Structures are given as structure tokens and as C-alpha cells.
């Protein structure tokens, strides 16, 4: 399967001439990359995706795919795959007809359609479901049909708009593995929109964190998590402590803090609450001065070493407290 | 030893609910039952209790060329009205729901207005308009008038379907390579079809039963069944009227059933 690089070049989109949805966004997505657009609702991630798909036309800026400027190309000539949160299967058609749709539009000969539909359904483990209607399938099965329908045309680009958002937690996790494995095997460029930071961290090669129509930071999951550039990124991804040192903000992850005796520690305080999370415990510590601190204690034994009311000291390395842009 | 099965306690609310339903059903069906009794009663006037069962009034109805011509004209007009109002109504509904038209609420009210105006006024107005413009009273004029009254039903049922329409389904088709025209015929039309045809059933019945509008627009020897029945009743009130009513009811019912069978009005529970 071929894959194509995507470039958004200073793309801006307003709605009703007033609401600024996407504000001069520039992104370079490599061919074959699993790229996530991550952010809260209203941050412009879905609008950005819809401009790549061609559902929205940017007010200014250009969209390139595979080196070609496709900004003015209508949706149906862009040769992309897309998976929607609501699945958007054709309710009046069978599973096989749903998957065959894109091939039929491309006027692929009938025997080849049958062969490729069968292969696509096998790929998502839905062989035997050909004659069912979407309404007769579970959410996970519908999502796999949607995936097969998008991938059967072998698009160079696959766009996913919160595709796992409607699934329950266990199934979502399983689909995360399946989707990532499928993407690597096919080598397709995948643009994945999500508001779920865990999902983005788990699946992506790179992530763009968006806020208020702008890209706050682009980087690998490790970079985004370990080296957040702005306070928004630090806050949005995982738990964080924001320290203020001489007018400069620093971000410190709870797991970078170690518990110690109160004497001689960088901060001394009392454990307020201890939330047991299974493999670890998240402690909230109220220091003698300053705001509360979150501390993650990974425990080898059954429980955390501290309980609420205990006096503790906190220590951490300077290099783990990441300076944030103001 | 297993526990004795629990007996459901008597539920007064449920009993009352069922009784109310039975009452409503009786209220709706009783008039039809009475018509049937009169249609089968052999006395030459409408009387109660019936004295026997006979098909003489059905024979009279089917044997009368006046009734038969009127029945065929009504069926023919209603069928054309069905087709016209489906096409016009669906197009209007799509434009209203999708067209981004300025003053959409006003336009919707305007298209729905034939439902608000008493049909007898619509009939009178069209009669005057036709006469003044020199059109006269051709059959197509009658068809146009019926269509005018029937279209709002199709608009209403189609708008209801469009209101719950997930447009992502159309977007999915477009991404897969379907041009706007193909999206319409492959996705939009099949999905709004149940709403369109449900409106079509109403349109057929509205035309087939239409009296006030037809009254002004039919010509002698070219009268629809309701008008012929009305004229007949002015002089005779025998079982032939009841027989004609039964035939009308059965015809309307069979149109509904045939459409239901062909189109499957309930085929798409989930859109």
C-alpha cells in the first residue's frame, strides 16, 4: 500500500465569519506516520481533519497531500479513507455492500470487488458477517466494518475522527492495539483525532496538542509527556505539579517525586489523601508552605508506604522540573 | 422443593389503561362497522336493526357506470397526485432542510399553509383563479389542486426523517469517491424513502377522499367518487352509499398495504 505525506500550510478556518476554529495551523505529517491531533473539544482538531478530508474549505492557507496541492479538490476526488465516531455505515446496505462501496465508485470489476471485500473483512476478523445489516452488529463490529470499508480502497491516507470514542474501555483498548498493528502493517499515513490523552500517547508516532485553534506543541509521545513546552500541554496530559520559581513556571510529573524523611527534603508536608490506583498510589501532600503536590508512588508491595496524616519529605531532581514557556 | 411461582399482583392502573385503549379502538372502528352493516342490509333505506345480509348494494355500486367512471377517475387522479406530491414534496423538504435558504421558518410555514386553510376556501380560490385565467376545469387542473393540498403531508414526513439524518453517512460516501449526485442516489434518497412514501400514502388518501376542493373543480360527467356520492345522497340514501364507502375504505387500505410491502415503510428502524 502506498502512503502519502500531508502538509497543512498556515491553514485558517472561521465559521460564520466570526468563530475562529483553526488559526494559522502548520503541520508536516510524514508518509506512513501515525499522527494524532489531541486537544479538548473546540480546539480545532476535528476542523483540521475535516479540511484534510475536504469537508471544510480553509479561509486561507493550503493543504498538500503527497506533494500535490489539494485545497480546491472536491472530497470525492481526494482518494482518502475516513472512519467516523458514529461509524456512519450505510444502514440500508449489508456489511459486504458497505465495504464494497468505495470499490464500486472506482468501477473495479465485480470479481475483484468480491475478492477484496472478502480479504478486507478477513483482515478485521468479520468473515461470515457479509449479509448482516449494520443495525445487527455490536459497536465494536460496526467500527471494524467502518475500518474495512475505509481501507479496502487502499487509500494513501486514513483519517480517523475519534473512532474509538463510542466504545467501552476494554474494547477501546483492544481496538487501539488492532488499529495500530493494522496501520503499521499497511504503512498507511494515519491522522487520528482524539481528546483522550492516554489513547494518543499509546498509539501515536507523533502528537500535535491543539488548544484554541492553535498547535501548542508537536512531538513524540515521550517528548509531549516528558518535555511539555507550555502550561496547557503539561496540564492536559496526565497529572502535573506546576512549581513557580522566581517568576518561572516549571512542570514536575508526580512520578518524578520521591518520598523521604521530612528532614533535609526539598519540601516537607503532610499526606492529605492517598488514592489507591492498583499498581501505584497517587498521594496529595500539603507542604508547610505553597500549594498541594501530587506524588505517585509505585509500590512493589500491596500498598503505599504512607497514609493520610503522615509527615513526609519530597525530593526530586532539578532536571525533571521542566521549564515552561510563559 | 422449588418456590411457588410468584403471582403478578392485580394492577388497577394497567387494567384502566387497557380499558381506555379498547374504548378508543371501539370509537374509531364503530362507524366503519355501522357502514358495513348498512352496506349488507337489503332494505332500500338505511335502517336499524338490519333485517338480513345481501350484496345487492355492492352489485348496484359496481353495476352503475356513473359510480364506476367516478371510481376510476378518483383512482387515476389519486395515483398521479401520489407521484407528483412525492417528487415535489421530497424536493421541497430537501431544500428546506438543507438549502440554507434565508427565511427558512417562513418558507416552511408557507409550504405548509394548504393544511391551515380550510379546503373549501382552497377549492373556491382555485375555481375563481382557473375561471379568470381561462383555464376552465380540465382534469389536470383537478390534479394540480389535489397535489397542492397533498404536498404538505409529504414535506412534513420527509422533514421528520431529514431531521434525524446523520449527515456523516453522506460524508462517508463522499470520501469513498461518490460524487454529490451519486451520494444523493446511493445514500440520501434510499434513507429518506420511508418518510417520502409515508407522506405519499397520505397524499393518495387526501386526493382519493377529497371532496371540498373537488366540488368546485369537477365538470359534469367528470366527477370524482366523493362528489358523485354527495350528489347521489341528495336524492337517494340507500345502501349503495354504504357499499361505496366500504369499497373506498378497502381501496385506501390496500394502497397502504401494497406500499408497505413494496417499500417496507418500517424497513429502517434506525437511521
- List, for residues B207-250, the tens digit of each pLDDT value: 998 998 898 888 888 889 999 989 888 887 788 888 888 888 88
Of B172, B180, B268, the CB nearest to A92: B268
Instruction: Answer yes or no: do A88 and B171 touch at CB < 8 A.
Output: yes
Instruction: Answer yes or no: do A78 and B179 touch at CB < 8 A.
Output: no
Rounded Cα distance, A83 and A26, in Å: 23
Kindly state whether A278 is in contact with chain B, defined as any CB-CB distance less than 8 angstroms: no
Kindly state whether B62 is in contact with chain A, defined as any CB-CB distance less than 8 angstroms: no
Instruction: Answer yes or no: do A102 and B176 touch at CB < 8 A.
Output: yes
Instruction: Answer yes or no: do B175 and A135 touch at CB < 8 A.
Output: no
Scanning B170-229 for CB atoms below 8 A from A yields 171-180, 182-183, 186-187, 190-191
Q: Residues A293, A304: contact at Cβ < 8 Å?
A: no
pLDDT at residue number A116? 95
How distant is the Cα of B156 from the closest Cα of chain A, in angstroms?
Answer: 22
A50: left (phi over 0), alpha (psi -120 to 50) or beta: alpha
pLDDT in tens, B144-156: 999 999 999 999 9
Kindly state whether A86 is in contact with chain B, defined as any CB-CB distance less than 8 angstroms: yes
What's the pTM? 0.80
Of A53, A79, A105, the CB nearest to B178: A105
pLDDT in tens, B72-131: 999 999 999 999 999 999 999 999 998 888 888 898 888 888 888 888 898 999 999 998
pLDDT at residue number B264? 63
Distances (CA, A) of A213 to A79, A109, A233: 26, 44, 14
pLDDT at residue number B110? 87
Of A101, A135, A159, the CB nearest to B176: A101
Instruction: Answer yes or no: do A81 and B175 touch at CB < 8 A.
Output: yes
| DSSP-based three-state secondary structure for A268 | strand
B270 vs A contacts (CB less than 8 Å): 91, 135
Average pLDDT, chain A: 91
Kindly state whether A57 is in contact with chain B, defined as any CB-CB distance less than 8 angstroms: no
Instruction: Answer yes or no: do B179 and A53 touch at CB < 8 A.
Output: no
Q: Which helix (H) or strand (E) holds A192?
A: strand A189-194
pLDDT at residue number B9? 82
Closest residue by Cα to residue A38 from A156, A179, A251, A206: A206
pLDDT at residue number A303? 74
Rounded Cα distance, B224 and B143, in Å: 11
B183 vs A contacts (CB less than 8 Å): 76
pLDDT at residue number A206? 97
pLDDT at residue number B268? 41
Query: Lowest-pLDDT range, A267-281, A298-312, B27-41, B180-194?
Result: A298-312
Instruction: Answer yes or no: do A90 and B179 touch at CB < 8 A.
Output: no
Kindly state whether A91 is in contact with chain B, defined as any CB-CB distance less than 8 angstroms: yes
Q: Examine residue B49 and say whether the peptide bond preceding it is cis (omega within 30 degrees of 0).
A: yes
Residue range(s) of every CATH 2.40.50.140 domain in chain A: 255-323
- Closest-approach residue (CA) in chain B for A154: B176
Instruction: Answer yes or no: do A88 and B187 touch at CB < 8 A.
Output: no
Superfamily for domain range B65-263: MetI-like (1.10.3720.10)
pLDDT at residue number A140? 87
CATH no. for A6-226: 3.40.50.300
How distant is the Cα of B100 from the closest Cα of chain A, in angstroms?
Answer: 13
A149 vs B contacts (CB less than 8 Å): 172, 176
**Residue B64 main-chain phi, psi, to 5 deg:** -90, 120
Rounded Cα distance, A38 and A23, in Å: 15
Average pLDDT, chain B: 87
CATH C-level class of A255-323: mainly beta
Rounded Cα distance, B212 and B235, in Å: 19
Instruction: Answer yes or no: do A101 and B182 touch at CB < 8 A.
Output: no
Interface test with B, best of A70, A82, A90 (most B CBs within 10 A): A90
pLDDT in tens, A245-290: 888 899 999 999 998 888 888 889 999 999 988 888 999 999 988 8
pLDDT at residue number B271? 32
pLDDT at residue number B1? 59
The tens-digit pLDDT sequence of chain A (326 residues) is 578 899 999 999 999 877 889 999 999 999 999 999 999 998 999 999 999 999 999 999 999 999 999 999 999 999 999 999 889 999 989 999 999 999 999 999 999 999 999 999 998 889 999 999 999 999 889 999 999 999 999 999 999 999 888 788 888 888 888 899 989 998 999 999 999 999 999 999 999 999 999 999 999 999 999 999 999 999 999 889 998 888 889 999 999 999 888 888 888 999 999 998 888 899 999 998 888 999 998 887 777 788 888 899 999 998 899 999 87
Amino acid at each position: 500500500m502506498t502512503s502519502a505525506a500531508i502538509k497543512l500550510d498556515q491553514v485558517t478556518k472561521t465559521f460564520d465569519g466570526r468563530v475562529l476554529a483553526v488559526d494559522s495551523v502548520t503541520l508536516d505529517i510524514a508518509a506512513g506516520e501515525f499522527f494524532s491531533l489531541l486537544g479538548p473539544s473546540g480546539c480545532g482538531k476535528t476542523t483540521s481533519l475535516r479540511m484534510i478530508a475536504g469537508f471544510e474549505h480553509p479561509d486561507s492557507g493550503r493543504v498538500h497531500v503527497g506533494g500535490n496541492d489539494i485545497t480546491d479538490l472536491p472530497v470525492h476526488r481526494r482518494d482518502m479513507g475516513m472512519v467516523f465516531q458514529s461509524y456512519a455505515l450505510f444502514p440500508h446496505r449489508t456489511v459486504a455492500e458497505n465495504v464494497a462501496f468505495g470499490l464500486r465508485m472506482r468501477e473495479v470489476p465485480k470479481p475483484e470487488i468480491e475478492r477484496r471485500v472478502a480479504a478486507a473483512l478477513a483482515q478485521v476478523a468479520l468473515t461470515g458477517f457479509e449479509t448482516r445489516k449494520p443495525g445487527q452488529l455490536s459497536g465494536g463490529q460496526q467500527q471494524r466494518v467502518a475500518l474495512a470499508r475505509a481501507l479496502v480502497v487502499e487509500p494513501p491516507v486514513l483519517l480517523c475522527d475519534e473512532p474509538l470514542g463510542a466504545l467501552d474501555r476494554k474494547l477501546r483498548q483492544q481496538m487501539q492495539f488492532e488499529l495500530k498493528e493494522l496501520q503499521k502493517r499497511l504503512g498507511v499515513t494515519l491522522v487520528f483525532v482524539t481528546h483522550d490523552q492516554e489513547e494518543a500517547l499509546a498509539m501515536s508516532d507523533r502528537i500535535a496538542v491543539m488548544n484554541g485553534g492553535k498547535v501548542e506543541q508537536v512531538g513524540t509521545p515521550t517528548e509531549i509527556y516528558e518535555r511539555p513546552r507550555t502550561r496547557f500541554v503539561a496540564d492536559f496530559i496526565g497529572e502535573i505539579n506546576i512549581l513557580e520559581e522566581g517568576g518561572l513556571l516549571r512542570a514536575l510529573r508526580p512520578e518524578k517525586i520521591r518520598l523521604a524523611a521530612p528532614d533535609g527534603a526539598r519540601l516537607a508536608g503532610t499526606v492529605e489523601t492517598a488514592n489507591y490506583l492498583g499498581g501505584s498510589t497517587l498521594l496529595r501532600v500539603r507542604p508547610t508552605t505553597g500549594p498541594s503536590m501530587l506524588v505517585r508512588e509505585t509500590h512493589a508491595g500491596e500498598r503505599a508506604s504512607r497514609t493520610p496524616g503522615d509527615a513526609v519529605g519530597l525530593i526530586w531532581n532539578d532536571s525533571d522540573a521542566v521549564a515552561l514557556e510563559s | 422443593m422449588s418456590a411457588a411461582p410468584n403471582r403478578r399482583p392485580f394492577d388497577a392502573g394497567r387494567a384502566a389503561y387497557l380499558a381506555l385503549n379498547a374504548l378508543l379502538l371501539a370509537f374509531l372502528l364503530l362507524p366503519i362497522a355501522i357502514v358495513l352493516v348498512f352496506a349488507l342490509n337489503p332494505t332500500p333505506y338505511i335502517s336499524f336493526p338490519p333485517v338480513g345480509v345481501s350484496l345487492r348494494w355492492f352489485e348496484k355500486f359496481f353495476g352503475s357506470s356513473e359510480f364506476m367512471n367516478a371510481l376510476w377517475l378518483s383512482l387515476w387522479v389519486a395515483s398521479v397526485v401520489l407521484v407528483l406530491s412525492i417528487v415535489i414534496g421530497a424536493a421541497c423538504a430537501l431544500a428546506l432542510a438543507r438549502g440554507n435558504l434565508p427565511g427558512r421558518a417562513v418558507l416552511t410555514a408557507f409550504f405548509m399553509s394548504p393544511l391551515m386553510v380550510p379546503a373549501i376556501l382552497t377549492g373556491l380560490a382555485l375555481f375563481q383563479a382557473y375561471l379568470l385565467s381561462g383555464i376552465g376545469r380540465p382534469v389536470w387542473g383537478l390534479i394540480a389542486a389535489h397535489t397542492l393540498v397533498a404536498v404538505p403531508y409529504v414535506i412534513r414526513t420527509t422533514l421528520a426523517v431529514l431531521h434525524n439524518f446523520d449527515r456523516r453517512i453522506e460524508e462517508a460516501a463522499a470520501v469513498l469517491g461518490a460524487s454529490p449526485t451519486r451520494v444523493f442516489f446511493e445514500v440520501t434518497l434510499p434513507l429518506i424513502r420511508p418518510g417520502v412514501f409515508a407522506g405519499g400514502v397520505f397524499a393518495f388518501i387526501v386526493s382519493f377522499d377529497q371532496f371540498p376542493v373537488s366540488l368546485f373543480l369537477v365538470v359534469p360527467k367528470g366527477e370524482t367518487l366523493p362528489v358523485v356520492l354527495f350528489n347521489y345522497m341528495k336524492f337517494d340514501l340507500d345502501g349503495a352509499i354504504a357499499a361505496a364507502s366500504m369499497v373506498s375504505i378497502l381501496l385506501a387500505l390496500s394502497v397502504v398495504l401494497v406500499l408497505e410491502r413494496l417499500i417496507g415503510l418500517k424497513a429502517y428502524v434506525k437511521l
